[in-house]
Structure 1
Amino acid sequence: MPQYDDKQKFSVGSFLLYMLGFLLFWEWLRPLSTFTDTDYLSIFVLFSAFLFTLSYFELSVWVAFPIKLVALLYALHSIYFPVPFFDFQWVSYLFDDLFGSMKHAFSRDWDSMSSISRTFLFLVLLWLISYLMHYWLIQARRIFLFFIITVLYVTVVDTFTVYDASSAIVRTVIIGFVLLGILRFIRIIELKGFRVNENQFPMMWIVPLAILIAFSSFLGYLAPKAAPQWPDPVPFITAVGNQTDEGAGPGVGRGIQKIGYGTNDSRLGGPFVYDDSPIFMTTIEELHYWRVESKEVYTGLGWDTEPAEPPSESVNPDDVSLDSIHAVTYNDNVRSEDLTAEVEVLRNNLYPFVIFPGELQSIETEEDRIYQMNTITNKLKTFDQADESGLGEYTVNYKVPQFSEAMLSNSSTDYPAEITERYLQLPEDLPEEIKELTEEIVADEDDPYGKAKAVEQYFSRNGFSYNTTDVAVPGGNDDYVAQFLFETKLGYCDNFSSSMAVMLRTIGIPTRWVKGFTRGDYEQTLEDGRRMYQITNSNAHSWVEVYFEGVGWVPFEPTQGFLDLPNFISDYENNTAETDVPEEQEEQNEQASNTDDSSGSSGYQFPIDLDKVLNWLKWGALSLLIILVISGIIAFLTRKNWLDKYFLWRFRKRKDDDEHVFDDAYHRLLWLLEQYGIKKRPHQTLREYALEVDRYLDTGDMRMLTKKYEHTRYSNKSHQVDWADTKELWENLIKRIRP
């Protein structure tokens, strides 16, 4: 066979081969962000394109390898390390992480491998595929097998996941046939010995081929198609997969879901993967959760409403309040603050409803819509004529309450009939052990508020862990709440919130299950001081509202890792508390005075002038007090200049084998950040706060420390952080927060 020497190479043809090969490979990457928890798809695509480009130039391995290695490191840096690329401290952390994950890999403990190591292996896989594509396209001149596998991959993903491959299958067929045609043409040239001048490509062959394939594909796409001749096997396979035998293990039954807001909550449980797809942009003055709706019927497996489609009422956007006891969130005697928030909906066609914090008062928008408020769930839907249609941009005016703990504690348990009928509902076959456990938890509490707080705090004190992967699905004879309370003790917001709502109902306290979103991820601070946040699917959340007579519906947050929702104060009126303390103090002073008098009458005579001694002690004590006060004031005013040095010195003296040193150092770091003005907001999780700190300090160390801290606190496996490995990260953060 004639050799295809360098002079016979045509650069246009090689470039076209690489470009089409990359487009075909791209079809493998497109669905990843839809049915997996893989983010940063653009980085993976750019990294693959860079590898294909280097392969096209056929550089020496001694040149190409270090360039590709730097590109791989840069991709990892872009994903995980928000610090300058040439700040090589992150490289040290990267290699430590990789070596640690290698130990887990050799011991086949795949679950313990870090996200960084998994991403590293995925990038290495992309690197290897670029070599394979070079071999198939340039040396073997065969791509048919890869093309067929790609078609099968796209069709299977389209069938069994939420990914829509209608356009992908057309692109794949066109690209694949063009590639096959070009490779066939090149093989004919090589086999027959045709000579092609350098930088010359016989376009008279390729252009008709591309036109023919494009026309055939277009005609096939538009042509009528016969209906399926066989029954669709997917519903059968899905139904079989969703059957859960009694005693099935965690995660069986529903498969892995993707987090996000949904309307069907009749069957809860099972693992999920995070989805950071943005859906709202909000501009607010204070941090709040965003409410969508509530549900009140617990079925033993999930939540429904009764009836399935509760009645709705048309409301005026200038005043959306209703007189329904279900729709009114707070009573008029609850102190509240009027606030405003702006919302930009990024996917309004998927979310035809209004999100709002607190109690919604009115809506301002330039878009013409019809508003329907559900009188039971409190969900405010928007319509364009008769069709559901979301708003693009709107402003919500709302009230934020300040709850008096005294008022909550003194609230009556004589609830209205329409509250008890709907919000004390429980399944007839609810396990009795749930009520027994609840009564044990609230045994020392006498009022509804104390009982609600006791149940809310029960989970954080009794070994319950926040988990999204090893979450059980109740079988046909299991109860969702009982399984979480007595068997797994692992779950996410649905498990915690459902359990608290059901537990309080067993002791006669009305509750409802609420769905919505957390406050989102911080984006920027505007000139007027308001902050902008992005709400993604990963911010979908559920919590509990408890009814207090004379107050209304009060939100509670039982989920591990999330902070309390409302603002609580001891009482609106503090006059009584302020007058009681001086009287008690006065009694203590009188007792102390009597004691001094009795002790001084012993008759012992001092050999020196007692008056002079007492006078000296008095002035000495006064001088010392003045010095201490002045020193304290100076120390307080200059605290930002010495606090960091003091704690650096203090923790350098701590021994590495002290098992509590890391926890102490992390909590002290949080305190220092607050002292230097980087305060943690009431509704921020540690992970959200760490991301904000890293953005403020231009580093990635806080996220690393927080990840280790969460692993020690919330992992169901015993784990102790090596202080020697984390000390440098901790010290670097403290040095960066210096004024």
Structure 2
Amino acid sequence: MPQYENEQKFSVGSFLLYMLGFLLFWEWLRPLSTFTDTDYLSIFVLFSAFLFTLSYFELSIWVAFPIKLLALAYALHSIYFPVSFFDFQWVSYLLADLAGSLKNAFSRDWEGMTSISRTFLFLVLLWLISYLMHYWLIQARRIFLFFIITVLYVTVVDTFTMYDASSAIVRTVIIGFVLLGILRFIRIIELKGFRVHQHQFPLMWIVPLAILITFSSVLGYLAPKAAPQWPDPVPFITAVGNQTDEGDGPGNGGGIQKIGYGTNDSRLGGPFVYDDNPVFMTTIEELHYWRVESKEVYTGLGWDTDPAEPPSEKVQPNDVSLDPVHAVTYDDNVRSEDLTAEVEVLRNNPYPFIVYPGELQTVESEEDRDYQMNTITNKLMTFEQAGESGLEEYTVNYKVPEFSEEMLKNSSTDYPAEITERYLQLPEDLPEEIQELTEDITADEDDPYAKAKAVEGYFSRNGFSYNTTDVAVPGRDDDYVAQFLFESKLGYCDNFSTSMAVMLRTIGIPTRWVKGFTSGDYEQTLDDGRRMYQVTNSNAHSWVEVYFEGVGWVPFEPTQGFLDLPNFVSDYEEENAEVDAPEENDQQEEQARNGEDSTGSSGFQFPIDLDKVLTWLKWTSLTLVTLLVISGLVGFLTRKNWLHKYFIWRYRKRKDDDERVFNDAYHRLLWLLEQYGIKKRPQQTLREYALEVDRYLDTGDMRILTKKYEHTRYSNNPNQVDWSDTKELWENLIKRIRP
């Protein structure tokens, strides 16, 4: 049996194709850290690069599949399991998590899908895409459609999110055109039968192509450009999306977010909409905020945590105290009250961390978990069998401080070195006018506490407004704080808290940025006098903690419309210095009964649960796309088993002109023969090829069909072709083709 293999192999060319294909695919991953809350982009990129590398070596499926599966498991382990890879306890937890998520998927409980299972599906999608890229580049020799889709993706992301694609579009165009040029060269070589020595590639053709494309792209990028001729449609689209029943206007941000607790704060800004989905229910004795974590590195666009820090330390639930310099602890001479709060999580998928107020002492729960406290952020994570797992119910015992203003005023500015090194950090390119403004605000104050209170009260006295819709997004060369202070003066908690933290740092006062939840919405008062509050996603909040030597970390609330966080008294010796907290609580309770939150603003309810509808649409779309991708992949892999049957059925239904049907059917037959391995060489005539096909299939039908085809195409007086007579010959040939 003759072999119809491509005799020319381009090892260098294949490597170049894979490398450029990976760089093109990388453009899909780059924006993820901007408009999603993922912090593991590097792992996804490395996993994709590993898959492309394995595809280049074209290993057997029995070798490649287990290697890729092991790489997928290692990626999941790196993201979610802070134990040794060889501690196989995490594998059992992973399998149990995937099995539970599979049940939720079958029951259409999309909210019950865990983050581990979603990441697993995303990694599988990367696996499938790497296979498709291998097919497009090496077998089909076509990449134009993927290139066009990539350009559209980059431009849409640039238009509707905070991602700046100025460089990405240039990279995409250069890579895409080089790929198209290389694939075109390869198709010409294969079509014309040029001989190229094995393991060589016509680089002398590619270098001029790359230089020409690069020069054209750079010239186009640097050339002067005319102003837009049509109005920008994005403000109109975002305006429509931001309209509410109360007539709110459009936002200026690069995309509308939904409020809630997230982990990625590297890019702040932009409008958001309220989300009243419940997070947890609390039973408490006094009102307070619920703390989750703090961050210390300001980047100019948002907040990060130093990745070089040591991992979290394991703690016991009956004693979660850590290093007093970094933890939320106070000096021994700070007066405090021991309190207890009960927490009942209302989310289907509980957060894998503990929310707590004040200085956390112990955690009580009937659920068996391991606890790890980050020594810098004070985020207390919960684990089960080496995997993140939240608690459904727990009780926290904590201390609520009462700060003496006299003690704060007399605190020293001789801070420890580890405080100044970490909590006075600022970007090198921070605008100087921020420090100048802060120095002007605090010019009449002598102590750190008075300066902190002056900056905290600056916003309420100078026309700053709380706003969630008309919130600007800083550009690539803008500073988040400077934009808020000197341009927009509109924003929500992130704007106010970040500005205060950065302003105090410019004058040498250590600060850190804190995230968590406000007290929530009042539900009822129990018989024992304790009160129940429901905390929703809309209660997600941020504030500031300022370090005072000899006192500790003191919280401040600069956001307009929110109540002061801590209890301040003039001095501990004054009996009348105690704040009348019950009266304040009664006022908040009355506001809660009237349908108002702590800011004094009333909310509104949609006639339907939009969040559930949007969640259902999102996961339904993801499921449909996944099924389509899997179906397409299965169909492609099994195409040789059904293609011939499909075309026989299709051409039996044709009712148009016989000559046209015959010509189409003959060309389809040539295509099918090539797909099944019987390829026509460039130097062969149709008659020579027909003889070879007949020998291969042990028939004489191909010569008859070819003779009729040549007669219809080249004869001056062609006879009318009767498709019904030739259809049987055509079908017999197709039926003889075997995979």
Q: Could you tell me the TM-score, scaled by structure 1's length?
A: 0.48
